[in-house]
Amino acid sequence: MPKLAVVIDDLGQHSTLDARVLALPGPVGMAILPDSRHATTLAERASAAGKTVMLHLPMAPAGGPYAWHPRLGQVELLSRLNQALAKVPNASGVNNHMGSQMTDQRQSMGFLMSELQQRHLFFLDSRTNRETVAGASAQAIGLASVSRDVFLDNDPSPDAVAAQFQAALRLARMQGSAIIIGHPYPSTLALLEEQLPRLHAQGIDWIDLGQMIATRSNRAMAAHGADGIYRVSRQR
């Protein structure tokens, strides 16, 4: 069966919306912002509920005390990573919040992947930059990682979200699997509440990110590279 994984980003800011995500059935990945008001409490609740807890690590152009920026040295980057992980307990992986000015930094991404490997954490590249080297950096050292295929709600209107969801299902059938990232918008949550329980009847196997990593075996999808190797447009 084609396989689908679903991740909701930007969590920890609004308790009502967080609760709706937590109540979604099945293996939803929950990416929690470390500087959000409810980060630690939500991470603990999500872990207890059996959800995949992820640190949603801010990266440039994102700001704040945990954000990774190209101008920062490795000592500061490591400090910010450690503090962010402390705010999101029980995280089994990390994905980038924003990052269009950071995920193309080869040295910093290599450093991040090495640190995650030491902690036995996976990485999900949100692919906010076409020139990202995050997936390639993870692949180079054998870190468990995957990359996002479809953003569900860049346009949060209900019709657009529904169209993106159907596009993700088509992609899953075409290439065998698809990873969706969405946000806790009312339109997104309404669609997922309605559609996720119907996936099995539509011939889609809804799995968690750990299973997706195993399914893809750290290989890039065709849109992200050739012959399973992540494409690198340029190096910094």
In tens, the pLDDT along 163-197 reads 999 999 999 999 999 999 999 999 999 999 999 99
Instruction: Tell me what pLDDT residue 234 has.
Output: 57
CA atoms within 13 A on the CB side of 143: 31
Spatial distance between the Cα atoms of 31 and 29, rounded to a whole number of angstroms: 6
In this model, does residue 235 exceed pLDDT 70? no
Find the mean pLDDT for residues 191-206. Answer: 96
Segments making up each domain of the chain, as ranges: 3-230
Instruction: Tell me what pLDDT residue 203 has.
Output: 97
Instruction: Tell me what pLDDT residue 138 has.
Output: 98
Type of residue numbered 186: P
Residues 6 or more apart whose Cβ sits within 8 Å of residue 14: 184
State pLDDT tens for residues 1-17.
Answer: 999 999 999 999 999 99
Find the mean pLDDT for residues 48-77. Answer: 97
Predicted TM-score (pTM) of the model is 0.97
Query: Counting Cβ atoms within 10 Å, is residue 203 exposed (0-12), middle (13-18) or buried (19+)?
Result: exposed
In this model, does residue 105 exceed pLDDT 70? yes
Find the mean pLDDT for residues 135-162. Answer: 98
CA atoms within 13 A on the CB side of 175: 19
SS3 string, the chain, reads CCEEEEEEEEECCCHHHHHHHHHCCCCEEEEECCCCCCHHHHHHHHHHCCCEEEEEEEECCCCCCCCECCCCCHHHHHHHHHHHHHHCCCCCEEEEEECCCCCCCHHHHHHHHHHHHHCCCEEEECCCCCCCCHHHHHHHHCCCEEECCEECCCCCCHHHHHHHHHHHHHHHHHHCEEEEEECCCHHHHHHHHHHHHHCHHHCCEECCHHHHHHHHCCCCCHHHEECCEECCCCCC
Find the mean pLDDT for residues 141-168. Answer: 98
Q: Which CATH class is domain 3-230?
A: alpha beta
Find the mean pLDDT for residues 192-209. Answer: 96
Residue 200's DSSP bridge partners are: none
Spatial distance between the Cα atoms of 233 and 235, rounded to a whole number of angstroms: 7
